[in-house]
Chains A and B, each alone.
Chain A
Amino acid sequence: MAYKFDFGAIVPHWELLLNGVVLTTELTVVGSVIGVSLGVLGAWARASRAPVISQIVGVYVELIRNTPFLVQLFFIFFGLPALGVKLTEFQAAVLAMVINLGAYSTEIIRAGILAIPQGQIEAAQSLAMNRVQIFRYVVILPALKKIWPALSSQIVIVMLGSSVCSQIAAEELTFAANYIQAMNFRAFEVYFIVTGVYLVMSILLRWMLKVFGNFLFERRNHV
């Protein structure tokens, strides 16, 4: 006998789904803002004159980029309490996302910085700016502009990757899906619809990052 699909079975649980969407959004926003900031710092440190700092950041980047996000998440949520660091599900999820995105964006932003022509930096030096001033006024914005598409893709990847945070019972979208299918036994329908929701979210996120990038790099008069 053929299976009868019942996508309507998810309707009564729309509130749970909505909560999941909200939490996934929160995770993504908080994780991205802090994660990219960490990436800016990391990229700065990579270009630092102190080789030790640069190397430490390099090790961090390689460790994170060569292990799965899920394992990082488990390590933080289950492993850190052994050291006395107790985190809520949400905190652990955010921390994992920040650490993960921080490593990727360090590499991405570093590439942007390396693409800034040396002449720009020399001109700033000749104008008596110090390293911090040069980074802040001359380097970082054009560097971010160059790599904004790559950074945006990475943020979308992190948002989609957050679906495994359901495994530590952070109540994001996938957790909601798991919960609903456990109640109505309509696993396929629930996951199918939630997949669609993720797709819409990633398209929206991509679009918003583009708009935000346009705003950030827009030509406007600061004077």
Chain B
Amino acid sequence: MSEFTLWDIVYNLALAARWTVLLSLTAFVLGGGVGLLLLMARTAGNPWAMRLVRGYVELFQGTPLLMQLFIVFFGLPLIGIDVSPWVAAMLGLTLFTSAFLTEIWRGCVESIGFGQWEASASLGMNFRQQMRYIILPQALRIAVPPTVGFSVQVVKGTAVASIIGFVELTKAGTMITNATYAPFTVYGCVAVFYFLICYPLSLYARHLEGKLRHVAR
């Protein structure tokens, strides 16, 4: 057994935490992009597109993230695409994120009254112009707090990627535990790292929410 000091544990976890952050950021940004496309598809008025997106959301919200990662990880090689745990995790989390974000944003768009659509239509705007100039700017304002709030779920979701072998914070914790036989300390530190990443995001989301409510009054 090698001699691990607390400092070694923290240092190694910090190194691994970079991957947690990177995976979170990637999934959040890409997932946001996909989510936006899905949102467009869903609100544009084509009933089939609507149903499809609804099914997509239902699927990702109704199954475990772990299964989603497994299917990507084991499924893609079957159609000839070899994926590393990193790619599988990124892809799986992106899809997962997009489903949740599109659902959150749909709620925001729908909370913009029908009158806004009608008024902008009466000014001769087409769907894209309505979205671009009228709906999105308003929806964006109310969408920011829950979106920031959801980023916490993404960060926590990346822990599941450890199970398909992607070495991030949790996986590093397991590896260090196996070397040190100090699970209490190591997982305690792992939890602290996650908390340090997530808590500011939670606070920020709550702050934004409070500000929004203040403005609404």
A residues neighboring B (CB under 8 Å): 3, 5, 62-63, 65-72, 74-75, 78-83, 156, 160-161, 163-164, 166-167, 174, 177, 187-188, 191-192, 194-195, 198-199, 202-203
Between-chain CB contacts (< 8 Å), 14 pairs: A63-B191, A66-B194, A68-B155, A70-B159, A70-B170, A71-B173, A174-B67, A188-B71, A191-B67, A192-B71, A195-B63, A198-B63, A198-B64, A199-B62
Q: Is the CB of A199 within 8 A of B59?
A: yes
- State A222–B187 Cα separation when bound (angstroms): 50
A82 near B159: Cβ-Cβ < 8 Å: no
Interface of B is mostly: helix
Residues of A within 8 A of B183 (CB): 74-75, 78-79, 81-82
Asked if A164 and B156 sit within 8 Å, CB to CB, the answer is no
User: Within 8 Å CB of B177, what residues of A?
Assistant: 78
Contact with A along B143-177 (1 / 0, CB 8 A): 00000000010011111101100000010011001
Q: In the bound complex, do residue B67 and residue A79 qualify as a contact, i.e. CB atoms below 8 Å apart?
A: no
Pairwise interchain contact B187-A78, C-beta atoms closer than 8 A? yes
Q: Is the CB of B191 within 8 A of A72?
A: yes
* 4 nearest A-B pairs in the assembled complex, by CB-CB distance: A68-B159, A78-B183, A163-B64, A66-B198
- A134 and B208 alpha carbons, distance in the complex (Å): 33
How long is the Cα–Cα vector from A167 to B184 in the complex, in angstroms? 17
Nearest neighbor of B183 in chain A, beta-carbon distance = A78
Contacts of B170 in A (CB 8 A): 68, 70-71, 74
Contact B62 A202 (CB under 8 A): yes
Rounded to whole angstroms, the CA-CA distance of A70 and B113 in the bound complex is 41
Q: Which of A70, A72, A177 contacts B160 (CB 8 A)?
A: A70
Q: How many CB-defined contacts (below 8 Å) exist between A and B?
A: 119
B20 to chain A, nearest CB (A): 10
Q: Is the CB of B163 within 8 A of A164?
A: yes
Q: Which residues of B contact A203 (CB under 8 A)?
A: 62
Give complex CA distance A20, B50 in Å.
Answer: 34
Select A202's contact among B63, B187, B191, beta carbons within 8 Å.
B63
Given contacts A63-B195, A66-B195, contact A74 B66 (CB under 8 A): no
Min Cβ gap A205→B in Å is 10
If A66-B195, A191-B70 touch, whether A160 touches B75 (CB-CB below 8 Å) is no
Nearest CB of chain B from residue A158's CB, rounded to whole Å? 11
CB pair A163–B194 under 8 Å, yes or no, is: no
The yes or no answer to B216 lying at the interface (CB within 8 A) is: no
Is B190 an interface residue, CB under 8 A from the partner? yes
Q: Are B184 and A67 in contact (CB under 8 A)?
A: no
Contact indicator B190/A71 (Cβ below 8 Å): yes
CB distance from A182 to the nearest CB of B (A): 12
B67 with A83: CB separation less than 8 A: no
The minimal Cβ–Cβ distance linking A142 to chain B, given in whole angstroms, is: 22
Known: A3-B79, A160-B65. 18 other contacts (CB 8 A): A3-B78, A66-B202, A67-B195, A67-B198, A70-B163, A74-B174, A78-B184, A79-B187, A81-B183, A166-B66, A167-B163, A191-B67, A191-B74, A195-B63, A195-B67, A198-B63, A199-B63, A203-B62
